[in-house]
Chain A
Amino acid sequence: MNGKFVVNGKQYQFNFNSDERLLFTLRNHGFKEVKNGCLEGECGACLILLNGKPVNSCQVFTASAIGKDIKTVKGIGNLHEPHVIQEAFVEAGAVQCGYCTPGMILATYALLQNKPKPSESEIKNALDGNLCRCTGYVKIIEAVKLAAERLNGVKENKALYGEK
Chain B
Amino acid sequence: MTKYKTVGKSKVKIDSLSLATGESRFTDDFELKNPLYLAILYSPHAHAEILNIDDSAARQMKGVVDVFHYGNVKPILHTTAGQGFPEPSPYDTTLFDTKVRFVGDRVAMVAAESREIAEEAIKHITVDYKILEPLFDPEKAMNEDAPQLHGPDRFTPIGAKYEPGKNLAAEVEIEFGDIKKGEREADFVLDHTYYAHYGSHCAQEPHAAISYFDETGRLVIVCTTQVPFHVRRIVSKVCEFPLSKIRVVKPRIGGGFGGKQEVFLEPLVALTTIRHKRPAKIVLNRKEVFQNSRTRHPVRTRLRTGVKKNGEITFLEMDSLLNSGAYGTHALTVLSNCGAKVLPMFNKIENLHFLGRSVYTNLPVGGAYRGYGATQGYFAMNQQIDMIARKLGVDLLEFIKKNHIRVGETSGVFRALGEGKEGVTQYIHSCKLDECIDIGAREIGWYEKRGKKIQNGDKIKGLGMMVAMQGSGIPMVDMGAAYMKMNDDGSFNLDIGATDIGTGSDTILAQIAAEVLSVDLDKIIVLSSDTDRTPFDVGAYASSTTYVSGGAVKKCAEKIRSQIISAASEMMKTDKENLELCDGKVTDGKNNRFVSLSDVAVYTLYSENQFQIQAGASQIVEESPPPFIAQFAEVEVDTKTGKVDLIKFVSVVDCGQAINPKLAEGQIEGATVNGICYALTEEYKFSKNGNLLTKQFRDYKIWSAADLPEIKTIVVDSHEETGPFGAKSVGEIGINGPMPAIANAIYDAVGVRMFKAPFTPARVYREMQKSGCQHY
Contact = CB atoms under 8 A, between A and B. Distances in A.
A125 B663 CA distance: 25
B21 A99 contact: no
A79 B21 contact: yes
Nearest to A45: B204
Nearest to B22: A33
Contacts of A11: none
Interface in B52-71: none
Interface string B693-730: 00011100011111010010100000000000000000
B672 A96 contact: no
Contacts of B254: 35, 97-99
A45 B16 CA distance: 16
Interface residue SS majority, chain B: loop
Contacts of A39: 285-286
A118 to B, nearest CB: 12
Contacts of A70: none
B224 to A, nearest CB: 10
B181 interface: no
Which of A45, A78, A100, A138 is packed against the most chain B CB atoms within 10 Å? A138
Contact of B21 (A82, A124, A134, A138): A82
Interface stretch (A60-68, A87-95, A151-159): A87-95
A135 B670 contact: yes
Given A137-B705, A139-B669, A97 B663 contact: no
A140 interface: yes
A131 B20 contact: no
A86 interface: yes
Contacts of A87: 17, 20
B24 interface: yes
A128 B13 contact: no
Interface in B655-686: 662-663, 665-666, 669-674
A135 B254 CA distance: 12
B12 interface: yes
A137 B665 CA distance: 12
A93 B204 contact: no
A93 B663 contact: yes
B532 to A, nearest CB: 24
Given A127-B704, A133-B702, A40 B502 contact: no
Interface in B25-44: 25-26, 28-29
A59 B330 CA distance: 37
Interface string A128-146: 1111111111111100000
Interface string B240-264: 0000000000001111010000000
Interface in A111-134: 123-125, 127-134
Contacts of B706: 124-125, 127-128
B504 interface: yes
B201 A138 contact: no
Interface string A100-117: 111001000000000000
A50 B480 CA distance: 46
Interface in A23-49: 32-33, 35-40, 42-43, 45
Given A135-B670, A136-B669, A124 B17 contact: no
A91 B11 CA distance: 9
Contact of A86 (B21, B201, B662): B21
A133 B22 contact: no
A105 B698 CA distance: 23
B557 interface: no
B665 to A, nearest CB: 7
Given A128-B706, A133-B255, A140-B705, A37 B286 contact: yes
Which of A93, A124, A125 is packed against the most chain B CB atoms within 10 Å? A93
Given A124-B706, A134-B502, A99 B26 contact: yes
Contacts of B509: none
B228 to A, nearest CB: 16
Which of A33, A123, A137 is packed against the most chain B CB atoms within 10 Å? A137
A72 interface: yes
A55 to B, nearest CB: 17
Which of B205, B285, B674 is packed against the most chain A CB atoms within 10 Å? B205
Nearest to A92: B662
30 contacts: A32-B22, A32-B25, A33-B23, A42-B696, A72-B22, A77-B21, A78-B23, A79-B23, A82-B20, A86-B20, A89-B20, A90-B17, A91-B12, A93-B13, A95-B13, A96-B504, A97-B254, A97-B501, A99-B203, A102-B22, A105-B20, A125-B706, A127-B704, A128-B705, A130-B705, A136-B669, A137-B708, A138-B665, A141-B705, A141-B708
Interface of B: 10, 12-13, 15-26, 28-29, 201-206, 252-255, 257, 283, 285-286, 501-504, 662-663, 665-666, 669-674, 696-698, 702-706, 708, 711, 713
Given A32-B28, A96-B502, A97-B254, 8 more contacts: A36-B206, A82-B21, A99-B502, A127-B705, A129-B704, A131-B202, A131-B702, A139-B669
